[in-house]
Amino acid sequence: MMTPPPLARSLAPLSEESLPGFLLRLAHRLGRSPGRIAGLCGLTSEERRPPAYHLIDLPNDVAATLAAVTRLSEAEVHGLTLRHRYAATYPVLSKARAHSKINTVALRDYCWLRTP
């Protein structure tokens, strides 16, 4: 898969910022919708929106694409996810898998992370 070109501008992540917050700020700065920015960054799935499991962690290929497009390091990109920020506080995050092939047992263990 070919990496998309870098965005015209990017932002440095704020301390304690999440992936959705970063995408919202970036979308505002570039005058585009958050969905369009997610698509340009390689975060969208078949539903044309970022999958919920991207909040927990990003697969390495997706993180590499996001880092290249936004001109961030992969460490900064992974730092926007829940797993890298809160795994010490919530050990169940360290077991969560960052891909769409999640079985129901794994899903049951951390579905509380995505409840409103």
- pLDDT, tens digit (0-9, with 9 covering 90-100), for 61-79: 999 999 999 999 999 999 9
In a domain, 8, yes or no: no
Contact 79, 46 (CB under 8 A): no
In a domain, 44, yes or no: yes
Alpha helices in the chain (DSSP H): 19-30, 34-40, 53-56, 60-70, 74-79, 82-86, 92-95, 104-110
In a domain, 91, yes or no: yes
Contact 60, 46 (CB under 8 A): no
The Cβ of residue 41 has, within 10 Å, a number of other Cβ atoms equal to 23
Structural domains of the chain, count = 1
In a domain, 74, yes or no: yes
Q: How confident is the model at residue 46 (pLDDT cuts 50, 70, 90)?
A: low
Average pLDDT over residues 34-50: 82
pLDDT tens, residue by residue, 99-114:
545 534 455 555 655 5
Residue 33, classed as helix, strand or coil, is coil
In a domain, 4, yes or no: no
Range of the domain at 39: 19-114
Q: Which long-range contacts (CB under 8 A, 24 or more apart) does 81-90 make?
A: 81/18, 81/19, 81/54, 81/55, 81/56, 81/57, 82/18, 82/55, 82/56, 82/57, 82/113, 83/56, 83/57, 84/57, 85/16
In a domain, 56, yes or no: yes
In a domain, 108, yes or no: yes
In a domain, 12, yes or no: no
